[in-house]
Structure 1
Amino acid sequence: MNLKEVYEIFYPGKCKENPSVWNVPPKYRSKKDFFEELLPMEIRWINFKIWNDKARRSRFFSNCKGETRYIASLRTFLFEQPWTISRIEGKANELLSGQISEKVMNERFLRIVEKEGIEISRKLRSYLFDDETNQLKTKWGNVLTFYVLLAILPEEINQIYVQYLYNQEQSAQLKGEEESNGVAIKDAALFQYEYPPDMSIVSPGEKINHTWVIKNVGDTLWENRYYECNQSMMELDEKNRILRIPKFVYPGDKVSPSVSFYAPDKPGTYVMNWKMKDSKGKIVFPDKLGIGLHFMVMDFEEDKAIRGENYNVIEEIPRLSAPIIAGNLYSHTWIIQNTGMTIWNEYYLECINGDNFSYVKKELCVPLKAHVMPGEKISVKVEFATPPIEGIYTMVWQIMKKDGTPAFAKNRRLEVLLNLI
């Protein structure tokens, strides 16, 4: 899909392959006028030459990939300033202020998703679709914005929306709290850190120990409060289901609820959540996430030395984990040497625990050089939007063969430690 095709959804001109999405035909707009009305000035001024040069602009509409520097800059801009998406949506709503056919828009959307082979994350789908009717919400500006971003950044369409959708959720929660309270919030908890990092990978039956540190940042004394697990995919004993904290927690004090249990025997991804309750058993912060734990149980076969298959990490950039803002773009690079005797044919690097935060699998797959000879060194760079929730996480990566099986034994893994603030 390209920008020219996005334009032709609404202004088909001589292209009559598909029925019109309009019930009432709108005023004609050229492609130049259409996108200048749609895209905020700051997006176009990242590289104004593209938009001012007719021939170059036409090529860009037909194939965005040719403008690699502009795409890279735009991508970074959207990760750093996700609220820009809201501005595009506002302008798109003005453009589509006429009568739109819901039936045709839904049919067209589904055809595009099928044609492009798009895997839409759960949160993004919920943002665009009405869960009850399974039809697009009639906020057509949101749909047009999705088309534009898909045409420009198809591989990262889900990541682009991560921080924006998280901000939307937080704004809605804050607004609800203000409306219900009518006064400033006087009771508040703030997550400080956790250890070990979340999103770990364990073997069946392996012991899991985890601690969170939470601070009372309001002006209310917490008396006889505790955390109770309200979302679990496994049975917990009493001491791990209900996490006791000190009887009195004064404003400014910190508490450290902990769990210690054995991982289930069944492989899979497990998500658990505990929420704070008062002495009467009422949830204190019903709209907050609480404290969560995500882990993956993997049943590895006994490690076997695979003859002629091995590698060394020569260099890692960055070498040490530094705090970064949750939801921002992050990149990590390894310099890897093939120290075995086998040619790596179409190997790739894959994050094996990314689904804990609803990443679509292909978003965290990075192809290596097509053929890596024994002794050869290669640079492998991963780049992704970090989870939008503060915490310490471990992203675990494995080198895979082209058939989707691990190329090396289980202890040959690459890890990225994320300290999100």
Structure 2
Amino acid sequence: MNLRTIYEIFYPGKSTQYPFAWKEIPKYRSKKEFYEEIFPMELRWLNIKLWNDKARRSRFFTDSTVEKNYVSALKEFLIQNPMVISRMESKCYLMIKDDLFPPTINQIFFQLAEQEQITFSSAIKQYLMNKEGTVLKNSFENVIIFLILYAIFPSEINQLYMPYLYRKGNAISYNTEEKERDDRSLFQYEFPPDMSVHNPGEWITHTWVIKNVGKISWKHRRLECVSPPDWLNKESRSIEIAEVVHPGDTVSFTVHFSVPDIPGHYTLCWKMKNDIDELVFCDKLGLGLHFTVIEECIEDLAEEGNNYQILEERPAIPTTLSAGNLYKHSWRIENTGTIVWENYYCECINGDVFGYAKNELRISMKKKIEPGERVVMQIEFVTPPVEGLYKLIWRIMNRNGKPVFAKGRQLEVTLNLI
């Protein structure tokens, strides 16, 4: 799928492969006019020569990979300025309004998704589709922009949307600036790192430390879990602040609970309330905890004679960087066993909990790696869009999708996001 295909399907409606989507024949726009109306000026100015050169523009619409520099700059801009996607959606709505047939758009979208084998993160599914993931919501401008960006970034689309959907989902619905001008908090640190991995029924103990950076003392306040699940114990649902927290002081909150018995990815969020049950710090996302429950099988134990050693890792120490930015990490490892690795790959086992799709964090390896051979594995991804301490875990898998080495043999990336 490319930009030319999207134009032919959704604008003129002259594609022979897909049904006509419009209630009435729309006003004609060329591909240049169509995309200039959707792409804000700041995105076109990243490479205005491309947009003004008919031949280059045509090649870009047919195969965006030919303009690697522009695609790289576009990706970085969207990550740094995620709400630009909202502007693209608004501009698209002005073009299509309510003039598309919902059944036809559904048919086209799911046909494209099947043909392209698009992997949707849970957050994008919730954004574009109903609860069952079988019918699109009626905001078709969101659907079209998603497909446009997918045509340019097919392997990174879920990461690209992660900062945008997080900000959109936690936007303030009313003006709290006056009320909270003198009442402010600042996240300090947490331990252990977020995104932990557990066996069913294991206990989690997690602590956050925040600072009162406002002008008001915190009295009779508590941290309350938002929409607590049934399995969360009473002690962790609401955490009282026993003492008064004066401006400049820090306070810690600790939760201790047993994880569910059902394997999966789980997210919890706690927010602060005052003595009259009002939510404070409405502009804050709250204190989040993300974890993965995995049930290990005996078959996952390492095969005798199979082993590896990490020779070099870059960066070598945990990195501090801004949340929601591009990050690159690499390992150089050696097959120190006696077994030839055939069709192995490296998979992140806890990325789903923060909206990553498995294929986006998957690291390919050579088809065959002989004993004693050394290889470099590298991954580039967008970090979670929220401040905190995170640990992502990769395990080496065989062709059947099973871990090759015993639990604990893993590659880790620890990120301190500010």
The separation in 2 between residues aligned to 1:261 and 1:101, in whole angstroms, is: 49
Aligned to 2:92: 92
1:337 partner letter? E
Aligned to 1:365: 362
Aligned to 2:381: 384
Q: How far is 1:404 from its partner?
A: 0.1
1:320 partner letter? I
The separation in 1 between residues aligned to 2:231 and 2:115, in whole angstroms, is: 39
The separation in 1 between residues aligned to 2:301 and 2:103, in whole angstroms, is: 56
Aligned to 1:150: 150
Aligned to 2:111: 111
Q: How far is 1:120 from its partner?
A: 2.2
1:331 and 2:355 aligned: no
1:418 and 2:381 aligned: no
Asked if 1 retains the 8 angstrom alpha-carbon contact of 2:221 and 2:241, the reply is yes
The separation in 2 between residues aligned to 1:219 and 1:198, in whole angstroms, is: 30
* 3-state secondary structure, aligned to 1:255: strand
Q: How far is 1:132 from its partner?
A: 11
The separation in 1 between residues aligned to 2:93 and 2:234, in whole angstroms, is: 52
Corresponding residue to 1:176 among 174, 178, 185? 174
2:388 partner letter? G
Asked if 2 retains the 8 angstrom alpha-carbon contact of 1:163 and 1:328, the reply is no
Asked if 1 retains the 8 angstrom alpha-carbon contact of 2:345 and 2:363, the reply is yes
* 3-state secondary structure, aligned to 1:355: helix
Aligned to 2:24: 24
1:381 partner letter? Q
Aligned to 1:353: 350
In 2 relative to 1, CA 159–373 (structure 1 residues): closer, same or farther, beyond 3 Å?
Answer: same
Asked if 1 retains the 8 angstrom alpha-carbon contact of 2:121 and 2:352, the reply is no
Q: How far is 1:77 from its partner?
A: 2.6
Corresponding residue to 1:216 among 212, 219, 232? 212
* 3-state secondary structure, aligned to 2:155: helix
Q: Which deviates more, 151-160 or 322-331?
A: 322-331
Aligned to 1:192: 188
In 2 relative to 1, CA 281–38 (structure 1 residues): closer, same or farther, beyond 3 Å?
Answer: closer
Deviations 1:390-419 (A, max 9, x none): 110110110111110012111210110011
Matches within 5 A, 1:225-304: 225-230=221-226, 231-232=228-229, 234-236=231-233, 238=235, 240-261=236-257, 267-279=263-275, 283-284=279-280, 289-300=285-296, 304=301
Aligned to 1:399: 396
The separation in 1 between residues aligned to 2:207 and 2:134, in whole angstroms, is: 40
Deviations 1:227-267 (A, max 9, x none): 344524534264x4443433211222210112345556654
Deviations 1:185-218 (A, max 9, x none): 4433332210111111234565533211022233
The separation in 2 between residues aligned to 1:43 and 1:228, in whole angstroms, is: 41
The total of aligned residue pairs comes to: 416
* 3-state secondary structure, aligned to 1:94: helix
Asked if 2 retains the 8 angstrom alpha-carbon contact of 1:201 and 1:298, the reply is yes
In 2 relative to 1, CA 92–147 (structure 1 residues): closer, same or farther, beyond 3 Å?
Answer: same
The separation in 1 between residues aligned to 2:198 and 2:371, in whole angstroms, is: 32
Asked if 1 retains the 8 angstrom alpha-carbon contact of 2:194 and 2:390, the reply is yes
The separation in 2 between residues aligned to 1:330 and 1:140, in whole angstroms, is: 32
Aligned to 2:122: 122
2:147 partner letter? Y
Aligned to 1:316: 313
Aligned to 1:201: 197
Q: Which deviates more, 56-65 or 342-351?
A: 56-65
Q: How far is 1:288 from its partner?
A: 5.1
1:58 and 2:55 aligned: no
The separation in 1 between residues aligned to 2:234 and 2:83, in whole angstroms, is: 43
User: What is the Cα-based RMSD across aligned positions, in Å?
Assistant: 3.0
* 3-state secondary structure, aligned to 1:193: strand
TM-score with structure 2 setting the length: 0.87
Structure 2 gaps of 5+ residues are: none
Q: Which deviates more, 256-265 or 318-327?
A: 256-265
1:189 partner letter? S
The separation in 1 between residues aligned to 2:18 and 2:265, in whole angstroms, is: 42
The separation in 2 between residues aligned to 1:315 and 1:258, in whole angstroms, is: 35
In 2 relative to 1, CA 129–404 (structure 1 residues): closer, same or farther, beyond 3 Å?
Answer: closer
1:74 and 2:50 aligned: no
